[in-house]
Amino acid sequence: MSVSRIDLAAGGPNFSRIALGAWRIADARLEPRDIVALVRAAVDLGITTVDHADIYGSYTCEKLFGDALAADPQLRAKLQLVTKCGIKLVSANRPAHRVKQYDTSRAHIVASVDNSLAHLRADKIDLLLIHRPDPLMDADEVAKAFVDLKQAGKVLHFGVSNFTPSQFELLASRLPFPLVTNQIQFSALHLDALDNGALDQCQRLRISPMAWSPLHGGRLVKEESARALTVRESLAVVAKEIGATPEQGAIAWILMHPSKPVPVLGTTNLQRLRSLAGSESVKLSREQWFRVWTASSGHEVP
């Protein structure tokens, strides 16, 4: 069964319901052939949306990805590319950076996009996100960068990542076109988005959030804390009831939210990718969803 597709907002972009995250391809030391195999497997499963950021792999992942796919233009044409900018890391690959900081100036956003396009060997980015809220963000300046990039055909759609509803609304108020998503941390071990207004705002605006770290960076599977063990046990019971794996249950738990989140899978393991792609066909009851929520929150609903 192929992963379905979804419009993040009215007018697009049209993405796969589950996305592939590329942030681990450097840490996993994947060879070019391994990256191509991973992407081919994802596309075969219907996962065609790939999530990047300029800083991933200390500024190396985009180039690794672009170089690997350069020899297979037909495969590249099947993908929708997401990338993020706005964080400046202290890195040997950016020797001028002396302190980790945020930069949402027009000059930095435009330069970051040009670098990403070159590294990804792409002529356009389907979705650009501001990676983190910047306390010095000038909304008018960000909006000018977005408008210029859209008019130049370099970026088709724009959104944010990790923004509060008020930060989202500030930037949106300056733009002549809508922001199409807020990429947020959301998992059975990270419930903040259920209470801080981010998912409520997405529903109100009829946009789909993207959910990073849907398995809590793997800690949902491996962490030995009391809370993680309790949630893992709850997911195992639910998964057995519905004929799925606990990991599939964890992704299905996210997919059930009415804001229609798009989970971003960070795995580079082909077997796990194939298994998690089946999460969309896994259906939890409302009772099962709340059993997992109760295990994570440590108490019943009021």
Distance CA 192, CA 64 (A): 33
Dihedral of CA atoms 10, 124, 1, 183 in degrees, nearest 10, equals -60
Name the residue among 252, 153, 172 with its Cα closest to residue 211.
Answer: 252
b/e per residue 15-44 (b: at least 16 CB within 10 A): bbbbbbbbbbbbebebeeeebbebbebbbe
Instruction: Tell me which of 15, 23, 56, 59 is the catalytic residue.
Output: 56
Integer Rg of the chain from CA = 19
Distance CA 198, CA 132 (A): 14
Query: Is 56 part of the annotated catalytic residue set?
Result: yes
Active-site annotation, residues: 56
